[in-house]
Structure formats: structure tokens, C-alpha cells
Copies of this chain bind each other. A is one copy, B any other.
Amino acid sequence: MDTLEPTDRSTVRRNRKRAVTDRAVLHALLADALLVHVGVASPHGPLVLPSAFGVDLDGPDDGGSLYLHGSVASPWLRAAGQPVCVTVTELDGLVAGRSGFHHSMNYRSAVVLGTARDVTDVGERDRALDAIVDQMIPGRSATLRPSTRKELAATAVLAVPLREASVKVRSGGPNDEPEDVAAGIWGGHVPVRRVLGDPVPDSDAHGDVPAEVRALVQASVQAR
């Protein structure tokens, strides 16, 4: 099994039974997620920003590449050479225990630690930006015109290696105290999932909803 390589800093210290070292779980989580939370250092302390992202498991970084992008004017995208933390979390359920202490959430999360790298190679930048679009809507990038020189000049792209990651998974019901279970109190969990609604065309949109957008929404409806 191709496992992750947690180092001292990324080793899961709490809830070791929830730590999963199967790289396939990380890849499946990244495939499901639509956004990440990026931690960067600032002179005033850590900053955590939500961001779109893309993945290229064959990217040049050790373990594959996770890509972030944004305006070249964004201070947080000047993190090249700095340690960053990219966390992805999918909430799968609410765990209604028989005590406050045993309330919990079902989730899959990955905490990726690495040094950010500026992506400057023209080909890699193109692939990274396509990956970010396709993370939202699979197959979308192939339907779009190429980026203009002006658009590319306005866009910063960072890569983070996927080598060092801590993955945690919780599922199922509460782990209640035996005496609370014996007391006959109800306990269980409530599944949580993400659903896509019908596409909303722009007021100036022409023609049918594109196939890749229809397919994405249809897959979400079937998953209900």
C-alpha cells in the first residue's frame, strides 16, 4: 500500500485510531472536495483563507502537486519558499451522542504541510489552472478558450507537494458511555451531504446548459 509519510510535525497525536495512512483515502478526499483552507504565516500570526484548488497527482512535486491560484496582488500568494498548511475537510455527518461529551462529527480531513513553490513554467501553469477549473466542474477546462496573456500575467499560481499529510476519518454513531446506553437514551447520527441545484443561466446566456455542467448536477441528484 502506498502510504503517506507523516513526519513528527504532521503525525496525528490525538485520536490515532482516526488517522488513516492510505494514500488512496487522501486522493479520494481531494477528488470530492471543492475548496481548501490555506494557512500562511503573517507578521500578526497565522492567517487561514478559503481557496479553490486543483490537483495533479503526476505533477512535479514529491507526492504530486496541489495547486492554488489567485491575483498576483494577493499578499498570501507570495508564500513561495514559506511553509504553508493546506487543509481539506468534508463533513459527512453530525453525531448525536447521549452526552455533550460524546457529540462529534463524521468527517474526512487532510492536513497537508509543505513549502509553497511559485509555478512559473508556462506549461505547468496551464495545467494547474485547468486542474483548478476541472476540480469544480470535471471536463470544463477543455471547453474553454485559452487564457489570454493578460489573464495569465494577473494570476499567481502556487504548488504544494502532497507528500506530507495527516488524514483523519470518522464515521458511524457515537462512542457513548455504557451507563448512558444502558439508561435507554436515544443516540445516533445524521448524515450530511452536499447537493447541487439546477444550473442558473446568466441573463445573457445562450443555448443549452453545457454537457459537463449537466453531468455534474445529474451526478449530484443521483447521489441523493
Residues of A within 8 A of B (CB): 9, 13-14, 34-35, 37-50, 52, 70-71, 73-75, 82-87, 89, 91, 94, 96, 98-101, 103-105, 107, 109, 111, 113, 129-130, 132-133, 136-137, 140-141, 144-145, 147-148, 151, 154-155, 173-174, 176, 180-181, 184-210, 213, 216-217, 224
Contact = CB atoms under 8 A, between A and B. Distances in A.
A196 B191 contact: yes
B194 A174 contact: no
A91 B198 CA distance: 16
Chain copies in the assembled complex: 2
8 nearest interchain CB pairs? A45-B83, A191-B197, A39-B46, A39-B48, A37-B37, A46-B46, A48-B87, A50-B89
Contact of A105 (B52, B145, B187, B188): B52
